[in-house]
Structure formats: structure tokens, C-alpha cells
């Protein structure tokens, strides 16, 4: 990957507009810290980049190396090198973790991976993220602790070796040692050329991985960009200086109130 460009994306979910003309460009080798107050659209932007069907892109485009991927399904985006680690990885009862990993790897290559190579790479990856490889026989994320789920997301990144990784609050729920371990993995992949967009609310992870850029999303738009000092300042001072110094209104846009006129319960009540 050379460049990922988000151009003026307007996107909504369940009729609510969340991204309001969001634009951002990342180049190969970038490690971008993506910040913003709760509920202002960070996860939505990453989900839209990955092609999550819950979000409808009304206008704008996503270009990967100048190719428009806005309408591609998530599997095709993944094959093009995109990867996302979820803020809240979903439980997938009935799907055995090991089968899921194998199917994911096979979807990224022409020949299916041999059992021996699969065993070798998963064993190494489990060790690297500090999880017991017995977990491979359990259903995906079901009954995993919060930290185990996050480590399991990083494990998938290790197996798929994406060219661009979108990590959504990967540090939340990790204990201190796990955070250092995961930061080590991110730094190693950075050296190998993986590009990162990393959402976090805390500077602890950013201190360990030194992002070269920061972007701040407010009300569904990138409101400010800067270098790593911007992420540090936000983590120390919060977001109020954006308002004072840059005139950025950080109050969340009000959503349309749900009208009781549209509520089925009202019809029942009238009867
Ligand atoms: N699938 C959805 N359906 C309805 N509303 C949604 C959906 N996804 C997100 N939203 C709403 O869009 C807004 C932005 O949510 P998003 O998860 O992107 O915020 P965020 O910046 O990641 O916040 P946080 O820091 O709390 O993770 C929120 O008000 C959220 O409730
Ligand atoms: Mg989020």
C-alpha cells in the first residue's frame, strides 16, 4: 500500500448521520493517532473504511492507491491489505477460533495453508501475544476476558500481515505487561512496513509506539491534524483547548429526537 485516502465521506447508520464530510490521507509508513471525544465518530470511520454494512456511505469516496474501494465488501478490502481490530470484538458462538483463523488465512492466498505451516504460525503468534494456544479450540471470543479478546485481535493481525492496520482502542482492557507486549508487536510490524491508524484515549500506548501523526475527529469530521505533540497535549489537557485556540465546536451535534408519534407503543396505548 502507498496511500489510503478518505475523501469527504458522509455516512449514516440507522438514519443518523455520523460522518459529516470526513477527509483523511495516510501514506505508507505512517502511524496515525486518531483521537476525538466519545461518540464523535472514530469507530464509525474505521468501520466505514473496512466496509461494515451497518454504515451507509451517502457520498464521498475511499481510495486505496488511487483505486476506489468505497463499494467493496469487507472481504475484498481485507484481501487488499486492510485489517481492523475491533473496539468490542464480537462473540461468535459456533465458530471454532482455529477454523476461523484458517479460513481467514486461506481467503488471502491462492493455495490453502498446509496444516504444518498453520500449526507453526499459530503457535508462534499465540506465544507472541501471550495467549495459551489451547484457546484455538474454543469458540471465537466466547467467554474470553476483555484482555484476551484484545490480544486475540492482535493475533489475527499477526496471522494476516496486513499492509494497513486499523486498531480501535486496542489498549483498553489490557494489563500493563500486555500493553508493553502489544506495543512491541506494533513496533515490529511498523519496521516491516505496516501502516497504522490507531485509536486510543490514553497516551500510554502512544508513548510506546510514537505515532508520527495525530488527527482529531470532532462531530464526524477531521477537525485538526498535527504531529505526535498534538496527541500528547490532548492527553494532558483534554479537548477544551480546541475550542479556545482553534474555534472548533466540540459539543456533540444533537440527533433528531425520536417522536412518540412514530412509536408503535403509542398506537397500542391509544387502543
Ligand atoms: N451502528 C450504529 N447505529 C446507530 N448509531 C450508531 C452506530 N454506530 C455508531 N453510532 C452512533 O454514532 C456516534 C459515533 O459513534 P462511534 O462509535 O463512532 O464513536 P467513537 O468516537 O468511536 O466513540 P468512543 O470514543 O466512545 O469509542 C455515536 O453517537 C453512536 O451512538
Ligand atoms: Mg469507538
For 77-117, what is each residue's pLDDT tens digit? 999 999 999 999 999 999 999 999 999 999 999 999 999 99
Distance CA 27, CA 237 (A): 28
Other Cβ atoms closer than 10 A to 242: 22
pLDDT at position 40 is 97
pLDDT at position 49 is 98
Q: Is the pLDDT of residue 64 over 70?
A: yes
User: Whose C-alpha lies nearest to ligand 1, atom 3?
Assistant: 13
Per residue in 158-196, pLDDT (tens digit) is 999 999 999 999 999 999 999 999 999 999 999 999 999
What protein residues have CB closer than 5 angstroms to ion ligand 2?
42-43, 87
Q: Can you give the CATH number for the domain in which 162 is found?
A: 3.40.50.300
pLDDT at position 253 is 74
The percent of residues above 90 in pLDDT, for the chain, comes to 91
User: Whose C-alpha lies nearest to ligand 1, atom 27?
Assistant: 38
Specify which residues 216 forms β-bridges with: 35, 224
Q: Is the pLDDT of residue 264 over 90?
A: no
Going by the DSSP 8-state scheme, the letter that residue 58 receives in this structure is E
Per residue in 204-257, pLDDT (tens digit) is 999 999 999 999 999 999 999 999 999 999 999 999 999 999 999 998 876 655
Cα 20 to Cα 35, 40, 45: the distances in Å are 16, 10, 11
Ligand nearest to the CA of 16: 1
- Return the closest-CA partner of residue 156 out of 220, 87, 208, 86: 86
Q: Is the pLDDT of residue 60 over 80?
A: yes
Locate 141 and state its grid cell. Answer: 471470543
User: Whose C-alpha lies nearest to ligand 1, atom 19?
Assistant: 39
How many domains in the chain?
1
Lowest-confidence region among 14-23, 155-164, 262-271: 262-271
| Best residue for ligand 1 mutational test, from 41, 49, 53, 254 (most atoms within 8 Å of Cβ) | 41
Mean of pLDDT values over 37-65: 98
* Length of the chain, in residues: 271
Residues with CB under 6 A from ligand 1: 13-14, 16, 18, 36, 38-44, 54, 87
| Domain, as residue range, for 162 | 3-270
Find how far residue 19's CA is from the centre of its chain. 15
CA of 202 relative to ligand 2 center, distance in Å: 13
Per residue in 199-209, pLDDT (tens digit) is 999 999 999 99
Q: Is the pLDDT of residue 23 over 90?
A: yes
Q: Is the pLDDT of residue 126 over 90?
A: yes
User: Whose C-alpha lies nearest to ligand 1, atom 31?
Assistant: 39
Instruction: Kindly report the average pLDDT of the chain as a whole number.
Output: 94
CA of 102 relative to ligand 2 center, distance in Å: 28
pLDDT at position 268 is 54
pLDDT at position 252 is 80
Amino acid at each position: 500500500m502507498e496511500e489510503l485516502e478518505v475523501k469527504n465521506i458522509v455516512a449514516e447508520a440507522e438514519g443518523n448521520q455520523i460522518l459529516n464530510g470526513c477527509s483523511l490521507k495516510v501514506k505508507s509508513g505512517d502511524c496515525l493517532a486518531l483521537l476525538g471525544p466519545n461518540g464523535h465518530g472514530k469507530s464509525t470511520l474505521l468501520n466505514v473504511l473496512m466496509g461494515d454494512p451497518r454504515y451507509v456511505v451517502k457520498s464521498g469516496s475511499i481510495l486505496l492507491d488511487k483505486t476506489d474501494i468505497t463499494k467493496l465488501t469487507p472481504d475484498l478490502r481485507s484481501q487488499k491489505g486492510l485489517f481492523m481490530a475491533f473496539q468490542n470484538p464480537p462473540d461468535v458462538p459456533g465458530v471454532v477460533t482455529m477454523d476461523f483463523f484458517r479460513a481467514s488465512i486461506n481467503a488471502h492466498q491462492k493455495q490453502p495453508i498446509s496444516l504444518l505451516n498453520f500449526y507453526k504460525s499459530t503457535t508462534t503468534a499465540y506465544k507472541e501475544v501471550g495467549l495459551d494456544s489451547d484457546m484455538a479450540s474454543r469458540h471465537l471470543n466466547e467467554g474470553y476476558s476483555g484482555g484476551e479478546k484484545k490480544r486475540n485481535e492482535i493475533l489475527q493481525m499477526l496471522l494476516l500481515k496486513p499492509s494497513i492496520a486499523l486498531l480501535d482502542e486496542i489498549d483498553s482492557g489490557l494489563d500493563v505487561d500486555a500493553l508493553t507486549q502489544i506495543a512491541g508487536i506494533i513496533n515490529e510490524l511498523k519496521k516491516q512496513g505496516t501502516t497504522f491508524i490507531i485509536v486510543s484515549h490514553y497516551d500510554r500506548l502512544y508513548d510506546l509506539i510514537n505515532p508520527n501523526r495525530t488527527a482529531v475527529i470532532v462531530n464526524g469530521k477531521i477537525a485538526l491534524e498535527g504531529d505526535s505533540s498534538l496527541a500528547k497535549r490532548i492527553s494532558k489537557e483534554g479537548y477544551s483547548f480546541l475550542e479556545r485556540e482553534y474555534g472548533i465546536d466540540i459539543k456533540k451535534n444533537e440527533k433528531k429526537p425520536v417522536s412518540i408519534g412514530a412509536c408503535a407503543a403509542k398506537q397500542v396505548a391509544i387502543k
